[in-house]
Amino acid sequence: MFPFFVSLHFMKFLNKNMIVYKTPEEIEIMREAAQIVSRTLGKVAEAIEVGVTPLELDAIAENYIRSQNAIPGFLGLYDFPNTLCISINEQVVHGIPTNTPIKDGDIVSVDCGAIFEGYYGDHAYTFAVGNVKPEVLKLLEVTKECLDIGIAQTRAGNRIGDIGFYIQQHAENNGYGVVRELVGHGLGKTMHEEPQVPNYGRRGRGKKIQEGLTIAIEPMINLGTEKVKYLADNWTIVTADGKPSAHFEHDVAVVNGKPEVLSTFEFVEKALEKK
Ligand code: MG
Ligand code: MG
């Protein structure tokens, strides 16, 4: 979760504008929180197929998180009703799981959070289910590349703007729209801490990246326009032109000046290989 919403509505949840840098001990707890989410996404990957409902995936995720002595991180946060945000096709993020079965050709963003020993893990993967159009598969590929590009910029001495600049450049070079209204965020004892981590921006701008920074980087990239709107449920964000949107998210810590990815797609990839 939730990519941070750039609006006054959520400003009150920010930690007084201060970045909370983490000790090595805290980062180790956060790594476990992130890995619980990674394994949960692996369970979702095993189950996801044509005909499965988002609510079934949500139950799998909730049960698994609780089995790991962790707490679902999204459930009840800002009154969100479920464990997973499941956002299909033109839905960008914050989709509420429903009883509508997943169809052949859908892309399904699954965003998951867990709290372990008081710290949050928060990461997301967009699944291609069945026969997805090549142009949409390419969107997924490029969005994942954007995430890797953003991670590579997360090193001491760089600035937060460097992350967004290079993500935006890669996405726009491919003709895609970069969502402006939602951004990545600092992560720790709360889900949304400073700094905001936009997927767009200017090189050399923004706060300096320092040892102990922990952030969730989460490009949300649209096949068409960057513009988005809310659905009537006041949660789900959809693209304004109805074209698909992809979303990948990792938790990253700055350790010895370099980015260390606390979460992993390893469990998802293993599960998908077996299919
Ligand atoms: Mg998330
Ligand atoms: Mg997030």
Domain ranges across the chain? 4-273
pLDDT at 10: 47
pLDDT at 195: 95
90-113 burial, b for 16+ CB within 10 Å, e for fewer?
bbbbbbbbeeeebeeebbbbbbbb
Question: DSSP label at 77?
Answer: G
pLDDT at 4: 61
Q: Is the peptide bond before 3 cis (omega within 30 degrees of 0)?
A: no
Question: DSSP label at 231?
Answer: -
pLDDT at 49: 98
Question: If you measure from the C-alpha of residue 249 to the centroid of ligand 1, how many angstroms do you get, rounded to a whole number?
Answer: 6
Residue type, 39: R
Ligand nearest to the CA of 247: 1
Residues at Cβ < 5 Å from ligand 1 ion: 1, 111, 122, 124, 249
Ligand nearest to the CA of 197: 2
pLDDT at 12: 43
pLDDT at 275: 86
Q: Are strands 250-255 and 84-88 parallel, antiparallel or unpaired?
A: unpaired
Ligand nearest to the CA of 40: 1
Residues at Cβ < 5 Å from ligand 2 ion: 122, 216
pLDDT in tens, 94-144: 999 999 999 999 999 999 999 999 999 999 999 999 999 999 999 999 999
Tell me the C-alpha to C-alpha distance, in Å, between residue 89 and each of 44, 137, 146, 173.
17, 12, 19, 22
pLDDT at 8: 39
Side-chain-facing half-sphere of 268: CA atoms under 13 Å: 22
Classified by CATH at the fold level, domain 4-273 comes out as Creatine Amidinohydrolase (3.90.230)
All residue ranges of the chain with pLDDT < 70 are 1-16
Question: If you measure from the C-alpha of residue 114 to the centroid of ligand 1, how many angstroms do you get, rounded to a whole number?
Answer: 10
Question: If you measure from the C-alpha of residue 145 to the centroid of ligand 1, how many angstroms do you get, rounded to a whole number?
Answer: 17
